Amino acid sequence: MVFFIPMTDRNNSTTPVSQPPAAPRLVTVDAESAERRLDNFLMGHLKGLPRSRIYRIIRTGEVRVNKGRVKPAYRIKEGDVVRIPPVWGLREGSEHTISQSRASWVAENILYEDSSLLVLNKPSGLAVHGGSGVSLGAIELLRAARPDNRYMELVHRLDRATSGCLLIAKKRSSLRRLHEAFREGKVRKIYHALLLGQWAGGKREVALPLVTDHRQGGERHVRPGEDGKPALTRFYPEKLFKDAVLVRVELLTGRTHQIRVHSAAIGYPVAGDERYGGGRPAPAGLKRLFLHASSLTFNHPDDGRKIEFESPLESSLNGVLNKLAV
């Protein structure tokens, strides 16, 4: 059952993003961040801090990986725990702030919240965090909306263009247990996607290893490859149209761009996918990627009870489906 939390504090004040946390943060490296250089990883978490200062806090041991000192060029691995110290001077020389209206806007999309975790219905177009040309993301807005929370970290990620359920930990212990649940396959992740093409047959299971290429400027491109990481996706057709199909997707692993690459690999790219869609035109009225994280099911990190959160398709996506059905 999903509970909705009433929102308060809708005044016009602003919350500075430059204020550092009161204590160091411990960030567990997920699959998407694995193999990045430590200095580049920190640039994303300490937005606006000069690279020279990034090097300094690594060199002085303020930043640690698995409780030990490492060099800036260290390639972080999935499961590594990175200690990020509180830092003054983020966005130095800038007056950048988050308005309370923006913080309240993201708070209105919270599906569930308790003392240990938060589930956000992330809109399409909103990055999960700042970095790589994006000034602010969901996590920064949530921290501004909840200034009294000393700890708030992403448990997993969604592509910027993907909407739906995004899980946030509000305690270190919750983050550790939820990361463990993701690694062990104990979190059920269901998506809905509109795929282009005339679907033949029923359920399809795609098991293609995926390789992530890191391109200039930090852009990532994913391709199938025998030397890649194992990836498993199941597609269940729900509504057939003339040249498209609405599918329910069960994600058995959590690789970068997994659904988009696997669907394209079998000849059915996600509608609106400009990167992997092969240039195929989107259906009339579609202005975004038609990929939505519909539900998350897992055991609560505090008491182990099974909980499920659902996010219905937004009205614009249902409008596209209605046009296809005519």
Q: At what angle do helices 100-107 and 138-145 cross, to 10 degrees?
A: 100
Token pair of 139, please? Answer: 């996590």
Q: What 8-state DSSP symbol labels residue 160?
A: T
Active-site position among 159, 213, 273, 303: 159
Cβ(249)–Cβ(257) under 8 Å? Answer: no
Give CA–CA dist 243/179, Å, rounded.
Answer: 39
- Across 103-117, b (16+ Cβ under 10 Å) vs e yields bbebbebbbbbeebb
Would you call 159 a catalytic residue per the annotation? Answer: yes
Give CA–CA dist 29/77, Å, rounded.
Answer: 7
DSSP string, 244-273: EEEEEEEESS--TTHHHHHHHHTT-PBTT-
Q: Beta strand pairing status for 291-299 and 244-251?
A: unpaired
Give CA–CA dist 236/308, Å, rounded.
Answer: 20
Count how many Cα atoms sit within 13 Å of the Cα of residue 82 in the half-sphere of its side chain.
Answer: 29
Size of the chain in residues: 326
Token pair of 288, please? Answer: 């975004």
* Strand, coil or helix: 218: helix
Give CA–CA dist 287/41, Å, rounded.
Answer: 31
Cβ(168)–Cβ(206) under 8 Å? Answer: no
Residues designated catalytic: 159
